[in-house]
Structure 1
């Protein structure tokens, strides 16, 4: 089981672009109940009720949230760290560098950590793009943890299991999935550990860390050519923990029934990591099995009582890594939306997450 570099790049690009699209689709309804969403957007004839197309959030049509912002900073931190190691011949732990990258993201939110304000780290272009966007509903746990961070490769001291871990971990799965030699359990353990480490930067609860590690493994397996269904099975069998696997197994079983918001809401609301992961597994598997279209899989992922942008983002990540750019729904992205204006940046980071493995100091 293997895919060539160009297929991996295509999958990686789609993972980030569809993740951003799911994020933007869910942004306007993130803090609404399902009945409020249906009341506002109408009881449409589509099988999925509620919001159907991108709408206004944060004063812009099709605006992304902190989910996509942090995903991009995760990607940038990994790429910058690899290049630093190639140039200097020495490299610390990767999660230390992504932690610094997240601290730079925090500065774009008009907050910041004085311990890292003088660091010249990462892409200035990305920093300016996100700084111009401003605050996009940053999660309290991410903000407080990054503000309090003394050393970059130390676990956060809190007991939060919020979904701020799984909503940003896709680049971890892509980057380390591309670096591993094969998809043996021994190699996948490296991906899992990096997903756990990344989560630990901001979230101290083991459930949030476990969910992040499992999602990173799923992404890595699909990057290598495994089907989404098989990747989920392998990740849960080899790395599943009781606190995460229960809901995820339930999600897999619910796919065998007719798709509905009622079934989705049996998995929770997505505010915590294991619920967000389970909801995304449910919605993306419906798309993978062609029960729903990619568009309707994303719509189902955001039309519910809970954390719509995060569940939309993760669902988009999974659909993108499986199908590649050929399924990106241009009609949903539009041409006059914020997410459409970010497509080239997302494509660039999707490509660089794979290409950087060949980087050599010139």
Structure 2
């Protein structure tokens, strides 16, 4: 797969769109994550949230959803750097270390003085904000051993914490199957229930196919074909089928969204995001608003929906005025641009042997 090869949207526009769209949906839902729909309407009016609001004492804040997505992207960059500079790389282990760096941001008030030795992302003060991180993410990453498909962390957990961080796997210049496999292997670092890791895998597959220029409906239908080969894939498949069926009924409404669930668990979060994006395919702002105005995990459903619509339509389709309000938008763009540089094999970050230049290796140590 070559990102965006089947459309006029550039690779960088899709990657930026995916990460910025996710951050925008995250921020839209942050202030209403724990409110019922009735409470949302009571606070924000009958139409619910219509624009970015404050939460955690910050205007338009990103939460753990965006934080972990950025560390996923950083981990994939570092895995690629390691692979071409060291000649060998076990990518789930590199991602485990990336998530350990995220865990450290949740356990310390700010970056330690020696973060320069471990790449630049861990030195960003913004990422040390603690904004309701998921219990399974925290407990899984605190385990003394890394979860694996054979011995997954939290084998009964199917919360949406693995799904909401998995979009970057789909942005890799690889096949949908490879994106699926890596997303599943990295989901079990924290979420071991089949619906938890298969929803993350299906999400990566969908992003990969959409990034190649195909429609969202085609991407979901192909993911359903892949799920059919999984013994435990029925729950995720049923949720996705329902999401498409409800989207065919017309524009997304809170009532249609709530028919799909609350989004606290993986298959519901993915279904809500897919439904909103599919029901408003040409209007990313309408899709994002629909994805957060419901009783449930609004920031996660908003983030996943934002990843989808941003990949579909590119950064240029997202509202520029809203992006300018978004906390950390410059940081998100930087990670997106660095991801594109590394995955495209840009000559400015490579020496004559194809290995990372010293400056790039310092920025993304291959460990």
Query: After superposition, where does 1:187-226 map in structure 2 within 5 Å?
Result: 188-226=176-214
Q: Of 290, 293, 298, which aligns to 1:300? A: 290
Q: What's the offset of the Cα at 1:105?
A: 0.5
Q: Of 35, 39, 48, which aligns to 1:32? A: 35
Q: What's the offset of the Cα at 1:287?
A: 2.2
Distance, in Å, in 2 between the alignment partners of 1:345 and 1:40 is 35
Q: TM-score, structure 1 length as denominator?
A: 0.87
Q: Which one is further off, 11-20 or 151-160?
A: 151-160
Corresponding position of 2:139: 144
Q: CA RMSD in A?
A: 2.4
Residues 4, 250 of structure 1: alpha-carbon distance in 2 compared, 3 angstrom cutoff = closer
Matched, 1:316 2:270: no
Distance, in Å, in 1 between the alignment partners of 2:19 and 2:127 is 20
Q: What's the offset of the Cα at 1:238?
A: 2.4
Unaligned runs of 5+ in 1: 44-48, 113-117, 181-187
Corresponding position of 1:75: 73
Matched, 1:254 2:250: no
Residues 342, 53 of structure 1: alpha-carbon distance in 2 compared, 3 angstrom cutoff = farther
Corresponding position of 1:172: 169
Distance, in Å, in 2 between the alignment partners of 1:129 and 1:110 is 14
For these two proteins, the number of residue pairs brought into alignment is 337
Residues 192, 166 of structure 1: alpha-carbon distance in 2 compared, 3 angstrom cutoff = same
Q: What's the offset of the Cα at 1:331?
A: 2.5
Residues 102, 38 of structure 1: alpha-carbon distance in 2 compared, 3 angstrom cutoff = same
* Runs of 4+ displaced beyond 6 Å: 118-121
Q: Which one is further off, 326-335 or 160-169?
A: 326-335
Corresponding position of 1:160: 157
Q: Is the 8 A contact 1:244 1:274 kept in 2?
A: yes
Q: Is the 8 A contact 2:5 2:213 kept in 1?
A: no
Residues 280, 244 of structure 1: alpha-carbon distance in 2 compared, 3 angstrom cutoff = same
SS at 1:277 equivalent: helix
Q: What's the offset of the Cα at 1:296?
A: 1.3
Query: After superposition, where does 1:19-58 map in structure 2 within 5 Å?
Result: 19-43=22-46, 49-58=47-56
Distance, in Å, in 2 between the alignment partners of 1:161 and 1:302 is 20
